[in-house]
C-alpha cells in the first residue's frame, strides 16, 4: 500500500531525529538476511544502544537533505537499505554488524550486510 504524504512527512521527521541524535550513522544494504539472524542482530544492537531501522529510500534522502548532512545519491541505495545509528559508543553497533558478517562468511552463506554510506 502506498504511503500518504502525511505519513511520509512523519517518517522524514522520525529519520531526522535518528540522524540528529546519533553519534554515528551508517546506511547498510541488507541482502537476503534470514529472520532468525536479523532478530539476533537487532537484539545485540539494542544491547549496544544502537538502532537498526529499515527505511524508505526517497524519504531518507529528503531527511538527509533537510538535516544538512552530506548528500546521499539515490543510485547508491539500490536494494533494501537500513539505517544503523550509534548513540553511546559510536563503534559498538558496527562491531555487531561486522561480527554477523564474519559469521555469515564462515558459514559460506550468500547473504550479509554491505556498508553504503556513513556520517
Question: DSSP 3-state assignment of 80?
Answer: strand
How many residues belong to the chain? Answer: 119
Residue 65 belongs to what H/E stretch? helix 57-66
pLDDT of residue 83: 93
SS3 percent helix, strand, coil of the chain, rounded to 5, is 50, 25, 30
* CA distance linking residue 74 with residue 22, whole number of Å: 22
If we measure between CA atoms, which residue out of 53, 51, 54, 71 comes closest to residue 63? 71
Is the pLDDT at 71 greater than 90? The verdict is no
| pTM of the predicted structure, to 2 decimals | 0.85
pLDDT of residue 26: 92
pLDDT in tens, 40-58: 999 999 999 999 999 999 8
Q: Grade residue 117 by pLDDT with cuts at 50, 70 and 90.
A: confident
pLDDT of residue 1: 62
Amino acid at each position: 500500500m502506498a504511503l500518504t504524504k502525511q505519513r511520509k512527512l512523519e517518517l522524514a521527521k522520525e529519520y531526522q531525529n535518528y540522524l540528529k541524535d546519533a553519534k554515528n550513522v551508517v546506511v547498510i544494504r541488507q541482502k537476503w538476511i534470514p529472520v532468525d539472524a536479523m532478530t539476533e542482530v537487532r537484539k545485540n544492537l539494542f544491547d549496544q544502544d544502537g538502532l537498526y531501522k529499515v527505511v524508505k529510500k526517497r524519504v531518507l534522502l529528503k531527511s538527509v537533505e533537510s538535516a544538512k548532512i552530506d548528500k546521499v545519491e539515490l543510485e547508491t541505495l539500490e536494494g533494501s537499505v537500513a539505517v544503523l545509528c550509534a548513540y553511546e559508543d559510536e563503534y559498538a553497533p558496527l562491531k555487531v554488524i561486522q561480527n554477523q558478517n564474519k559469521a555469515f562468511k564462515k558459514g559460506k552463506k550468500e547473504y550479509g550486510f554491505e556498508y553504503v554510506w556513513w556520517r
